[in-house]
Amino acid sequence: MSSRLHGFPGGLILDGHKAISSGRPSMRAAIPERLFIPLQQHIGEPAEALVRPGQRVLKGEVIGAASGYFSVPVHASTSGTVVEVADHPVPHPSGLKCACVVIEADGEDTWFERSTIADPTRLDPAALRNLIRKAGVVGMGGAGFPTFVKLNPGPGRHVKTVILNGAECEPYITCDDRLMRERPGAIVAGAEIIRRATQAERCVIGVEENKPEAYQALRDAASDGVEVVQVPVRYPIGGEKELIQVLTGREVPSDGLPAEVGVLVQNVATAAAVYEAVEKGQPLISRYVTVTGSGVSEPRNLEARIGTPLRDLLEQCGMREGEVTSLIMGGPMMGFSLRDADVPLVKTSNCVLAETGPDSNAGLPVLPCIRCGSCAQVCPVKLLPQQLYWYARAKDFDKVQDHHLFDCIECGCCAYVCPSNIPLVQYYRFAKTEIWGQEREREKADLARRRHEARLARLEREKREREARHRAKRAVLSGKDQKMEGDAAKQAAIRAALERAKAKRSSSGDRQEGAARQRTD
Partner 1 sequence: MQQRLLIATSPYRHREASVRALMLNVLYALLPGIGLYVWFFGWGVVVNAVLATLVAVSVEAAMLFARRRPLRLFLTDGSAVVTAVLLALALPPLAPWWVTVTGTAFAIAVAKHLYGGLGFNPFNPAMVGYVVLLISFPREMTMWPAAGVISGEYAGFLDSVRIIFMGSSAAGMLDAITGATPLDLMKTQLGLNQTVTEILASPVFGDFGGKGWEWLGNGFFLGGIWLLYKRVITWHIPVAVLTSLFLMALISSALDPGSHPSPLFHLFSGGAMLGAFFIATDPVSAATTPKGRLVYGAGIGILTYIIREWGGYPDGIAFAVLLMNMATPTIDYYTQPRTLGHEKP
The two beta strands, 263-267 and 161-166, are parallel
- Based on the shown chain and the rule CB under 8 A, indicate whether residue 404 belongs to the binding site for partner 1: yes
Amino acid symbol at 197: A
**Stretch 242-261: interaction string toward partner 1, x if CB under 8 A:** ---x-----xxxxxx-----
Exactly one of 113, 119, 224, 321 binds partner 1 (CB under 8 A); which one?
Answer: 321
Q: How many CB atoms lie within 10 A of CB 198?
A: 24
- Based on the shown chain and the rule CB under 8 A, indicate whether residue 364 belongs to the binding site for partner 1: yes
Distances (CA, A) of 453 to 284, 294, 448: 50, 62, 9
Binding residues with partner 1: total (CB under 8 A): 70
The two beta strands, 202-208 and 161-166, are parallel
Sites for partner 1 among residues 378-397 (CB under 8 A)? 380-384, 386-387
Q: Which residues contact 502 (CB under 8 A, 6 or more apart)?
A: none
**For residues 225 and 423, which CB has a smaller minimum distance to partner 1 in the complex?**
423
Give the DSSP letter of residue 253: P
> Shortest distance, CB of residue 260 to partner 1, whole angstroms?
10
- Residues in the chain, total: 521
Burial string for 42-54 (b: 16+ CB within 10 Å, else e) reads: bbbbbbebbbeee
Choose one: 26-34, 263-271, 336-344, 490-498; the region binding partner 1 (CB under 8 A).
336-344
The CA-based angle 268-158-205, given to 5 degrees, is 20
Q: How many CB atoms lie within 10 A of CB 126?
A: 12
Give the DSSP letter of residue 346: -
Choose one: 173-181, 352-360, 439-447, 482-490; the region binding partner 1 (CB under 8 A).
352-360
**Residue 236: which of 145, 168, 177 has the closest Cα?**
168
**For residues 255 and 481, which CB has a smaller minimum distance to partner 1 in the complex?**
255
> Shortest distance, CB of residue 404 to partner 1, whole angstroms?
4
Amino acid symbol at 367: L
Choose one: 69-77, 131-139, 299-307, 368-376; the region binding partner 1 (CB under 8 A).
368-376
Task: Report the C-alpha gap between 476 and 470 in whole angstroms.
Answer: 10
- Based on the shown chain and the rule CB under 8 A, indicate whether residue 299 belongs to the binding site for partner 1: no
> Shortest distance, CB of residue 212 to partner 1, whole angstroms?
25
Calculate Rg over the CA atoms of the chain: 29
**Stretch 86-125: interaction string toward partner 1, x if CB under 8 A:** -------x--------------------------------
> Shortest distance, CB of residue 225 to partner 1, whole angstroms?
29
- Based on the shown chain and the rule CB under 8 A, indicate whether residue 467 belongs to the binding site for partner 1: no
Exactly one of 92, 280, 371, 450 binds partner 1 (CB under 8 A); which one?
Answer: 371
Task: Report the C-alpha gap between 161 and 168 in whole angstroms.
Answer: 20
> Shortest distance, CB of residue 433 to partner 1, whole angstroms?
12
- Based on the shown chain and the rule CB under 8 A, indicate whether residue 326 belongs to the binding site for partner 1: yes
> Shortest distance, CB of residue 372 to partner 1, whole angstroms?
4
- Based on the shown chain and the rule CB under 8 A, indicate whether residue 521 belongs to the binding site for partner 1: no
Task: Report the C-alpha gap between 449 and 237 in whole angstroms.
Answer: 47
Distances (CA, A) of 418 to 8, 15, 68, 392: 20, 17, 44, 16
> Shortest distance, CB of residue 183 to partner 1, whole angstroms?
29
Which positions lie near partner 1, rule CB under 8 A? 9, 14, 93, 171, 241, 245, 251-256, 321-322, 324-328, 330, 332-341, 355, 359-362, 364-365, 367-374, 376-377, 380-384, 386-387, 403-404, 407, 410, 412, 415-421, 423, 425-426, 429
